[in-house]
Chains A and B, each alone.
Chain A
Amino acid sequence: MDLQSKLAGWQRAGLLSAEQAAKIAAFEQESQRHGARPYAFYALGGLGALAVAFGLISLVASNWQEIPPGAKLVLDLLVGVGLVLGTLRAEAAGSRFVREILLLVLFGFVLASIGLVGQIYQLGGEAHDAMLLWSVITFAAMLHLRTGLGAAVWLVALEATWLMNAWSVIDKLGSSKEETILFVALWFVTALLLLLVGGAGPVRVRRPALARTAWQLGAVQVLGMMSIAPQFFYARIDDFYSVSAIAALVVMAVSLLVIARVPALLAAITGREQEPQVVLSVRVLLFYGTVLNLLACLLQHPPMGLVAALSFMVLWGLVGWVAYVSRSYPLFQVATAVLGVRLLGVYVEVLGSLLTSGLGLISGGLLTLGVAWYWRKKTVQMHGAFAAELPAEETGHETGHAAASPPEPASPPSGPQGGAP
C-alpha cells in the first residue's frame, strides 16, 4: 500500500486531520527528493568498477605477447595517470559517485600493474608478497573511499592480504593441525579487531562508511565462526598442542577487550547510549561464543553430537536475545529462522528406525511449531513496544490521548505474557 492510500485510510479512521495528512505527504516527498540514494545506480556502478579492475588484472595475467614490454609499461603508466587525474577532477567537481568508482578502478589497476612489472622483469615472489605491496601503497588513497561498497571491497582485500601473509609465516611451522589452529585463531582475532575498528570514535567521525562496514564485516565473521565452532563437537579431538594454549590466551584476551568495550562500541555504532540489558546480552553472546570456540576446537573431547546441536542452539538463542532487547526485528527473524533450520537438522540426525524417526519428527515438529508461535508472539510485542516508545509528537497523539490508550511496555517484557499472536 502506498503512502497516499495509507494517509487516506488514517484520515477515514479519524487518526489524522486533512492538514496533518498533507504535511506528512509533503514531508515524505521532500525526504525522497533529498535523501533518496540511487542504490541500484551505486550497485551497478560498483559492479562495473570491479569488472574493469578484474579485467585489467586478467589482461595482464594473459601476458599478451604482441605488445612489446616497454609499450606495455608506458601504456600502463598512462592509464594510471589518467585514473589519478580523473579521480582528482571528480573530487574537485564534487562528483561522489564518479570519484568512488575511479578510486576502486585505481585500486584494481595498481594490483594489475604490480603483476605486470613482476611479469616483465620476471621478479618472481609469491602472490601474498604482491598483495602486501599493493595494500601498503594504496592504503592512504583508499582511506578516501566514502561509500559502504568501496569500504567493503577495500577491507576484504586488506583482510585477505593480512591473512595470506600470516599464513605464509604460519605455514612454516610444519604441523598442519598446529598451523590450522593458529590460523583460525588469528582470523577470529582479526574479526574481533574489526569490531573495535568499527566502533573507534575517530574512525566513525572521519570515515563513517568505513567504520560501519568494518563492524558489519567483523560481526558477520565473528558470528559465522562462532556458528561453525560447535560443529567440531561432532569430531574427536585427541591432542592438545602447545600452540593451542597460546591461541586460547590471545583469543580470550582480545575477546575480553572487546567485551569490556561493548558499551562504548554500541554507543558509537548506534549513536546513543544503550540500555544495560542490551549491553549485557551482547557481552554474554561474545563471551559464550568465544568460550564455545575454544572448547570445541582446542580441548580434547570425544564426538558429542548432542552438545554440538545444543551449544549451537544456545548461541543463536543468545543472538535472538540480543535482537529482542535491542529491537532489531530483522536480526530476530534471522535468529528464529536459524534455530528452526537447526531443529530440522536435529530431526535428520535422530532418524533411525521408523519408530524413532516418527517420534523424532513429531517431537521436533511440535518444538518447531512452539518456536514459531513464540517468535510470532515476540514479534508483535516488539512492534508494540517500539511504537509505545515513540514520543507523542512523532505518533501525532495528544499526551492525554496517549495516556488513555492501553499501556504498552516501555521495554520488552521478559516473559511470554506480554502479547498475543
Chain B
Amino acid sequence: MTERRPEFVRFAIALAVPLVVLLLLIGRGELITHSGTKWRVRITGYDPRDLVHGHYLRYQLSWLWSDGDDEAERSSRRSRQRPREPDSFFCLNHGSDTRKPPEPRVSLVSRDERSGCQSSFPVEIEERLDRFYIPEGKGAAFERAVRNETCYVVLAVTRTGQVVVEDLLVGDTSWRKAIKD
C-alpha cells in the first residue's frame, strides 16, 4: 500500500479535478448573478418556425439604441442590422426607465470609451445570450408568451464585462410566476 500511495494520491487528485472545476463554474455563476448590475432587454422571436428548439427558447435581443428616441425608431433599427465591429463593446446606460431592473440605452463603443458606461461587455458575448433554458413541457407556453406578450431577459453584467442571463420576464413578472402550464 505504501508503494502504491503516490499513485493513489494522483488518482484522487485526477478524480477531484472535475468537481473543483464544477465548483468554480458555480462560484462564477453566483458571483456574476449577485454582483452584476441587472438590466432588462426586450426579446423577440427571430424565427417563429423554430422558436423553441429542444429545451431552450431561442430569441433575438432587441436593444434600445441610445440614438433611437422612441419605440417606433427602435423597431426600425433591429439589433442584428447594426454591424458589430470586432473588439467593440456594448455600452449600457440608464435612460428614463424607472422599472426594476431598468431597460438600458445601448451604444457600441471602442475599448477606450468604456469608462463612460455603467455596464459594458464585448460584442462577442451577445452570441451566447440568445437562448433561455426552459423546463420540459413548457415550450408551447413560452412560445405563446413571446409571441403575444412583451418579454424581456434580465442580464447581470459584472464590472469586468461578464454576463449571465438571470431571468426571463413576461411583462414585469418572472416566468416562474407568469407561465403556469
Contact = CB atoms under 8 A, between A and B. Distances in A.
Interface string A246-265: 00000000000000000000
B contact patch SS: helix
Interface string A104-140: 0010001001100111111111000000010001101
A40 interface: no
Contacts of B176: 65
B22 A122 contact: no
B46 interface: no
A189 to B, nearest CB: 28
A63 B134 contact: yes
B130 A138 contact: no
A84 B54 CA distance: 31
Interface stretch (B23-31, B104-112, B144-152): B23-31
Interface stretch (A73-81, A317-325, A371-379): A73-81
A322 to B, nearest CB: 38
Given A141-B14, A144-B14, A123 B22 contact: no
A91 interface: yes
A293 interface: no
Interface in B1-25: 8, 11-19, 21-23, 25
**Count class of interface residues, chain A:** 35 or more
Nearest to A119: B133
A140 B29 CA distance: 25
Nearest to A124: B128
B165 interface: yes
Given A77-B22, A77-B23, A114-B22, A121 B29 contact: yes
A77 B136 CA distance: 23
B129 A124 contact: yes
A106 B15 contact: yes
Most buried by B among A64, A81, A91: A91
Given A63-B135, A140-B17, A117 B22 contact: yes
Contact of B22 (A61, A62, A80): A80
B165 A124 contact: yes
Contacts of B25: 114, 117, 121
Given A121-B32, A122-B165, A80 B18 contact: yes
A62 B8 contact: no
B26 A122 contact: no
B130 A124 contact: yes
B98 to A, nearest CB: 26
Contacts of B135: 62-65
Contacts of A118: 133
Interface in B123-148: 127-136, 138
B55 interface: yes
Nearest to A76: B22
B129 A61 contact: no
B32 A63 contact: no
A106 B18 CA distance: 9
Contacts of A87: 15
B164 interface: yes
A119 B136 CA distance: 12
14 contacts: A61-B136, A77-B26, A84-B12, A84-B15, A91-B8, A91-B11, A118-B133, A121-B29, A122-B165, A123-B128, A123-B164, A137-B21, A140-B17, A141-B11
Given A114-B22, A141-B17, 12 more contacts: A61-B55, A76-B22, A77-B19, A91-B11, A117-B29, A121-B33, A122-B166, A137-B18, A137-B21, A138-B17, A140-B14, A141-B11
Interface of A: 61-65, 73, 76-77, 80-81, 84, 87-88, 91-92, 106, 110, 113-114, 117-125, 133, 137-138, 140-141, 143-144
Interface of B: 8, 11-19, 21-23, 25-26, 29, 32-33, 55, 127-136, 138, 164-166, 176
